[in-house]
Amino acid sequence: MDRQKRIALINDFCGFGRCSITVALPIISALKVQCCPVPTSVFSNHTGFDSFFKSDFTPQMDDYIAQWEKIGVEFDGILSGYLGSERQIDTVLGFVDRFKSPSTLLVVDPIMGDNGRLYSAYSPALARRMLTLALRADILTPNLTEACILTNSEYREDMSSGQLKEICKKLEADGVGRIVISGIDRGAELENIVYADGCYDSIRVKKEGGGRPGTGDIFSSIIAADAVKGVELVQSVQHAADFIGKVLRYTCKLDVPKPFGVCFEEFLTEI
């Protein structure tokens, strides 16, 4: 049966604040790829607000996933986002074992830290378990901090191209298919590194405002949707960087509070 491309999206659901599934689902859908979410937790709003409600979906994930296996769902891509426990990572590893065929692309966004440090909720043991999943990725999309953590490299904000290339080569040698290191601060610009099949490319874009919730979810969602449609990775990274720049400029123009995320909805018809 002919059908649209289909991606399984494994991430938390956040009702307000524009991040995780509530960002990734419309982005992937706008790129004409069917998006099938697997929630890991349900949040009223993201944790950047002073308070939030959370319901952990981990105990239900196995039964949820088993139903998909029972009805014979197949996927062209699997995209994993924030995973907050070793049990969740183990569940995703099991999902990959069940649903990843030779033609299924696994895209892993190993959300663990920033600015040279693990997030407060992430332990070194949890980071080591994330490495197990990351090394199975066909496309891995860490930021610089996460790339350093995954390769046990010393973090430096001003890493040279040679140092970044060595990190990518180490990840490739350990089993990762293709690597995108995103959002490297270069003063007035942000640099994204693409390493695929031994080729190293740099995509730079003008920095637009400060960091906001959801931009990483937009980035990985565009990468995953483009990948299952056969878009070349360097072109896809440029696509994601340009789109995020556009929505950030518009969001800053409206003076939207930072915790509210980015106004990507205005541009879904242009993605």
Using DSSP, state whether 72 is helix, strand or coil.
coil
79-94 CB burial, b ≥16 within 10 A, e <16: bbbbbbbeebbebbee
- If the chain, 271 residues long, is cut into consecutive pieces of 10 residues, what is the mean pLDDT of each piece? 86 96 98 97 94 96 97 97 95 97 97 92 93 97 96 93 95 96 92 94 89 92 97 97 95 94 95 93
Question: One-letter amino acid identity for 201?
Answer: D
Phi-psi category of residue 67: left, alpha or beta, with phi > 0 → left and psi -120 to 50 → alpha: alpha
* Partners of residue 54 on adjacent β-strands: 43
Q: Report how far residue 216's alpha carbon sits from residue 254's, in angstroms, rounded to the nearest whole number.
A: 21
Identify whether the C-beta of residue 34 lies closer than 8 Å to the C-beta of residue 7.
yes
- pLDDT for 209 equals 77
Q: What is the four-CA torsion angle of 150, 152, 153, 154, rounded to 10 degrees? A: 120
Which domains does the chain possess?
6-264 (3.40.1190.20)
Q: Which pLDDT belongs to residue 2?
A: 59
Give the pLDDT score at 239: 97
* Longest CA pairwise span in the chain (Å): 51
Q: Cα angle at 166 between 165 and 168, to 5 degrees?
A: 65
State in Å, rounded, how far the first CA of the chain is from the last one.
27
The contacts of residue 154 (CB under 8 Å, 6+ apart) are 148
Measured distance CA(18)–CA(267) in Å, rounded: 14
What predicted TM-score, i.e. pTM, was given to this entire model?
A: 0.95
Question: CB-based contacts of 1: which residues, under 8 Å, 6+ apart?
Answer: none
Residue-level pLDDT at 86: 95
